[in-house]
Amino acid sequence: MYEKYRECGFLVTTDSRALTGGEIFFALRGENFDGNKFALSALEKGAAFAVVNDDAELGDDPRLVPVPDPFTALRELAIEHRQNLDIPVIGLTGTNGKTTTKELIAAVLSRKFKVTATKGNLNNDIGVPLSVLTITPDTEIAVIEMGASHPDDIAKLVPVSQPSCGLITNVGKAHLLGFGSFEGVKAAKGELYRWLGSHPGSFIFLNEDDADLKPMAEAQPCAKHGYGIDYQGVELIPATPAEPFLRLRLDGRMICTQLVGAYNATNVLAAIAVGEYFGVSREDAISAVSSYEPTNKRSQMVKTERNTLIVDAYNANPSSMSAALDNFSHVEAPVKLALLGDMRELGTDSVKEHAKIVWKLCSEGIDAYLVGDEFRKALAQLGIDPCSGETCICGCFDDSEALASFLEENPVNGAMVLVKGSRGIQMEKTLAKL
């Protein structure tokens, strides 16, 4: 298989719609899909080979490669490829900020190296092998993002990416339905540290200010390279309507970013620390961070004809929602409004965690429209009627479409608006009405 992969110029795909010609197509099976159905059409579209299930009965085309399980074959190919690479691979995970941090790290390292980094959020059991397989012979450093929503996810991904160094952005309350508890989150994410600790010569990039991460990292016998707001004596400059983006002063140097939210400061410092370790000059690192512009509904500032929006609608969990509201409460603006959607996959803690967010909104006096059943249950538990006009909760809607319709009939003007919610709530549907 590896020779075929080399023949194909290190090109693989699992999506027959994305074929450009010459790739190995892996026909993956799942509960609701069967890639074998598209194998022959993939060959017609220009795939060099199609790796299929050996029970698929697709004929005797020599370009078909029958195997017991194409997913296992994809994973094994990625592992073999990684073992043939003699470059630093930075493994990255965390509850919040991992994609932004990955993008910042790649931007900084690209000032000196040929970098391959995870595209988008291809960070799961399929995405990580695909990401590893995009590393070409001319790559000098790779950055591989790994996501997790179950206890053994990272433990399954590190043998594929085989990081030589790594970073956990943070650990927080997310996917509690899958992890079972916050301790379960820590144990799962900590598999990255355990991998590094068991491989001589590996090291950890550590947020020295993080009370959860520090003991987890110190339990491992590998070297650490630290960063952190307090650890480095960083000054955060308050956001204003004239200067709404994150600004910070590090060692006397002002860093002006195009990111929204003080919670991104540690992501910026992580990228600079990684660059520093690998010999990127401070000047180049700051330039890279300053030039980075988010385009993925994460910490974006968007100005419409009527309002200024803080769009952080890609996902949400209790820790990221709380951080977003902390930042929003300190933003200076004459009118502020939060549009918040349910936080998914919190299990038995869901109503309690949503109630905490409602309480935070009321404590900070932030006017808000809420979306989803979990927020509705939290309001009922707190005895808050969103229609009473007696609190800052201005309304609660079944879904984002209903809120969008309301906003069309009741326009918001001249406001700073925070838009955030879990992916499944699709809060971006409200953007066109703002």
pLDDT at 342 over 70: yes
Burial of 24 (0-12, 13-18, 19+ CB in 10 A): buried
pLDDT of residue 296: 67
**Per-residue pLDDT tens over the stretch 14-23:** 999 999 999 9
**Per-residue pLDDT tens over the stretch 205-242:** 999 999 999 999 999 999 999 999 999 999 999 887 77
Helix (H, G, I), strand (E, B) or coil at 207: strand
pLDDT of residue 223: 96
**Per-residue pLDDT tens over the stretch 131-141:** 999 999 999 99
**Per-residue pLDDT tens over the stretch 238-275:** 887 778 899 999 999 999 999 998 999 999 999 999 99
**Per-residue pLDDT tens over the stretch 292-315:** 998 766 778 888 999 999 998 888
Which one, of 205, 202, 208, 250, lies nearest residue 225 by Cα? 205
Pair 319, 185: CB distance under 8 Å: no
Determine the Cα angle at 141 with ends 90 and 128, to 5°.
55
Per-residue pLDDT averaged across 93-119, rounded? 96
Output b/e per residue, 48-86; b: 16+ Cβ within 10 A: bbbbbbeebebeeeeebbebeebbebbbbbbbebbeebe
Pair 100, 24: CB distance under 8 Å: no
pLDDT at 49 over 90: yes
pLDDT of residue 235: 97
Mean pLDDT of the chain: 94
**Per-residue pLDDT tens over the stretch 3-12:** 999 989 999 9
Q: How far apart are CA 250 and CA 269, in angstroms?
A: 9
Which one, of 94, 90, 321, 330, lies nearest residue 207 by Cα? 94
Q: What is the DSSP letter of 112?
A: T
Burial of 10 (0-12, 13-18, 19+ CB in 10 A): middle
pLDDT at 174 over 80: no
Q: How far apart are CA 406 and CA 408, in angstroms?
A: 5
pLDDT at 54 over 80: yes
pLDDT of residue 215: 96
Output b/e per residue, 299-313; b: 16+ Cβ within 10 A: bbbeeeeebbbbbbb
**Per-residue pLDDT tens over the stretch 143-171:** 999 998 888 999 999 999 999 999 999 99
Q: How far apart are CA 149 and CA 227, in angstroms?
A: 27
Residues with Cβ within 8 Å of 307's Cβ and at least 6 positions away in sequence, in order, are 412, 413, 414, 415, 416, 417, 434
pLDDT of residue 287: 98
Token pair recorded at residue 21: 């010609």
**Per-residue pLDDT tens over the stretch 376-420:** 999 999 999 987 888 899 999 999 999 999 999 999 999 999 999
Q: How far apart are CA 384 and CA 367, in angstroms?
A: 14
Q: How far apart are CA 245 and CA 233, in angstroms?
A: 20
Secondary structure of 2-45 as H, E, C letters = HHHHHHCCCCEECCHHHCCCCCEEECCECCCCEHHHHHHHHHHC
Q: How far apart are CA 265 and CA 233, in angstroms?
A: 12
Burial of 317 (0-12, 13-18, 19+ CB in 10 A): buried
Confidence of residue 42 (pLDDT cuts 50, 70, 90): very high
| Phi, psi (degrees; rounded to nearest 5) at 76 | -65, -35
